[in-house]
Amino acid sequence: MKIWKDLQEYSGGSLKRAIVTLLTNPCFHSIVLYRLAHFFYNIRLAILAKVFWYLNRVIFNVDIDYRADIAGGFKLVHGLGTVIGKDVKSLGRMTIYQGVTLGGSGKTRIYGDKEFFQPVIEDNVIIYTDAKVFGAVIIGANNHIKAGSIISEDVLPRGTYR
C-alpha cells in the first residue's frame, strides 16, 4: 500500500521514527489526507474526496488535488504552500519542499498511450523550495530540481537542473 511506502520514506526503516512520524509529523498527516481523498475519488465518492482535500488545504495549507496520481514513497518537507494539480503523475519516490507548484500550462502531449497536460515525475526526484514545474513535461529519474527553478521543458534522467 502506498501509505506504508510514504511512512518508510519518512522513517528510514526505524520503528521509533515511524511512531514519531505517525504521531507528530504534520507533513505526513497531510499526505494521509491526500491518500484518503484519492481513495474516495477512486471509489467514486467524490464528495468525500473533496471534503478531505478541503481539510488538507485548511489545516495544512497544502493543495494536493485528490485526482493527482502520486506513487508511494511521497515525502513532503515543510509542505506549506505546496500545490499539486489534478493530472500530475509520479512514477516513484518523490520529495517535495515548501512552496512547490506542479501544474498545467494549457499545452498537451502524449506520454505512453495517454494524453497529458501536467507534469509526469519519474522515480527518485527531489523538488526543492519554491520550484515551479508547469505543463506537459517529464522530470526524469534521479533528478534534483533546484530551489526557485521554473521548469517548462523536459529534464532528462540522472541530471541536475541548475
**Number of Cβ within a 10 Å radius of residue 32:** 16
Indicate if the pLDDT at residue 25 is higher than 90: yes
Indicate if the pLDDT at residue 136 is higher than 80: yes
pLDDT in tens, 42-93: 999 999 999 999 999 999 999 999 999 999 999 999 999 999 999 999 999 9
Quote the CA–CA distance of 81 and 4 in Å, as a whole number.
24
Average pLDDT, the chain: 93
Enumerate domains of the chain plus CATH numbers: 2-161 (2.160.10.10)
Residue with cell 488545504: 57
Residue 73: which of 123, 21, 134, 144 has the closest Cα? 123
Q: Give CA separation, 68 vs 9, 16, 20, 85, 100, in Å.
A: 19, 30, 27, 6, 15
Indicate if the pLDDT at residue 107 is higher than 70: yes
Which of helix, strand or coil describes residue 74?
Answer: strand
The pTM (predicted TM-score) of the whole model is: 0.92
Phi/psi of residue 103, each to 5°?
A: -160, -175
The residue type found at 141 is A
162 pLDDT tier (thresholds 50, 70, 90): low
